[in-house]
Structure 1
Amino acid sequence: MPESPRPDDACPDDLTALPAAVLFDMDGTLVDTEQLWWQAAAELAEELGHQLTDADAPEVLGQAVEHTAAHLHRASGTDLPEAELAHRLGESFADKVAAETVPRPGALALLTALREAGVPTALVSASPRRVVDLVLSSLGRDWFAVTLAAEDTVRTKPAPDPYLAAAERLGLAPAACLAVEDTPTGVTSAVAAGCAVLAVPSMPVPMPEGDRITLLTSLEQADLALLGKLSAAPVG
């Protein structure tokens, strides 16, 4: 993975190369809900006699409810239907989000800077619409020109469909957009769609590497000049 540019290296001229749009993941990227999702999955897994470990992370982090429910069904060997597990998992997660929605450090500042610069933004989530709407009621709906939830595409992350749909709704080519993600599943989705990606992990998991993937430890390190550099990076 190429060394991440530092905001200190940016110059004002870079602002002329802003991305056509910035497409944000929600859970763990803009709001601190990835931990809540893991907690909901861990609690259900424990009820089923399965202990979540790092080995389960690829099947939980950034994944849709149905995907994680299917994984818990296989891992636990339960006789309960997958649909029931998905329902219980979704209800638990929604309850936790309703009780606690906290913006990630730097998220609101970056959204504000993009709005002031006239750069459109989209919310691209693998969470159900119910959860997306709960977060938007707290975070604010008017930050985004487009919002997509798990139900809005036939396939969700890690397939490219959500990011392709967001770019299409904005009338833009995916390659002109910058995606901001926190999980390997989300990064894989955005890269497959053709977006440049800023990866800001919310949990300590290995990230995919690539010429158009840049890793930061916090959105507090991101500014308009940095986004301009990332969006202008050549495809290769």
Structure 2
Amino acid sequence: MDGTIVDTEPYWISAETDLVESFGHTWTYEDAMTLVGAGLWESAKVFQDHGVEMTADDIVNHLTSRVQERLEKDGVPFRPGARELLEELRSLGVKTALVTMSIRRMAEQVVTHIPFDAFDVLVTGDEVENPKPHPEPYLTAARLLGVDIADCIAIEDSRAGLASAVAAGSIAVAVPHAVSIAPSDSHTTWPTLAGRTSVDLAALVAARATEGLSR
């Protein structure tokens, strides 16, 4: 969600900086980039190491609330092409899942700003035992959708998210945003979702089928 569908990273960075500085310590842009795509409770440990004297649950709830306030005040900044691709897929009857390490209340807030029924399933960071880069989030999404993970395409902007998608066995697409992602045979890289359609996704599925036949 964050960085793939909506550009909320600036909201997160602002909230993180304010939190760390409120305890008299420093939080840099480089510090923030190390947490892109990470689970919130794992991130909370990093904030504690940076001098934030709060419980992990309190850190997660505080940061999420601050970001939600920004979403309410300043709006939901959608990434180029994301809504358009989702809308086309839904018009074709394609099952979709939102797999995010943000917690459910924030995911639901973002989804309410999409002017159509965008997702069959939400898998959120407060509902999995093992966050990204573990494969559990994507495997959970496939199970809830009632599909084989090998038939799923996962679109990710972060290294942790991409690692989760690849480890789960999905057809993985990297659309880098806040952080760079190195090219690899394990995934496809697109610079943006703008202009991408179901035809592009179908080509990825066909390529995997061909690869399977050649083995």
What secondary structure does 1:139 align onto? Answer: coil
Pair 1:135 & 2:113 matched: no
Give matches, 1:147-226, under 5 Å.
Answer: 147-203=122-178, 205-226=179-200
Query: For 2:69, which of 92, 95, 99 is the aligned residue?
Result: 95
- Alignment partners' CA distance in 2, 1:194 and 1:46: 40
| Structure 2 counterpart SS, 1:159 | coil
Aligned residue for 2:113, secondary structure, equals helix
Which sits farther off after the overlay, 37-46 or 180-189? 37-46
**RMSD of aligned Cα (Å):** 2.0
- Match in the other structure for 2:20: 45
SS state of the match for residue 51, structure 1?
Answer: coil
Q: Which amino acid aligns with 1:52?
A: T
Q: Distance in 2 between matches of 1:217 and 1:35?
A: 20
* 1:54 and 2:38 correspond: no
Inter-partner Cα distance in structure 2 for 1:62 and 1:128: 13
5+ residue gaps, structure 2, are: none
Alpha-carbon distance in 1 for matches of 2:133, 2:159: 8
In the alignment, the residues of structure 2 paired with residue 31 and residue 123 of structure 1 have an alpha-carbon distance, to the nearest angstrom, of 12
Gaps spanning 5+ residues in structure 1: where? Answer: 1-25
Higher RCO, 1 vs 2 (CA within 8 Å, ≥6 residues apart): 1
Deviation at 1:164, TM superposition (A): 0.2
Aligned-residue sequence identity (percent) comes to 34
Structure 2 CA distance for aligned equivalents of residues 82 and 117 of structure 1: 41
| Partners of 2:82 and 2:54 in 1: CA distance | 39
What is the number of residues matched between the two proteins?
Answer: 208
Confirm or deny: 8 A CA contact 1:212 1:233 kept in the other structure.
no
TM-score normalised to structure 2 length:
0.87
Q: Tell me if structure 1 keeps the 8 A contact 2:13–2:29.
A: no
Higher mean C-alpha displacement, 37-46 vs 189-198 = 37-46
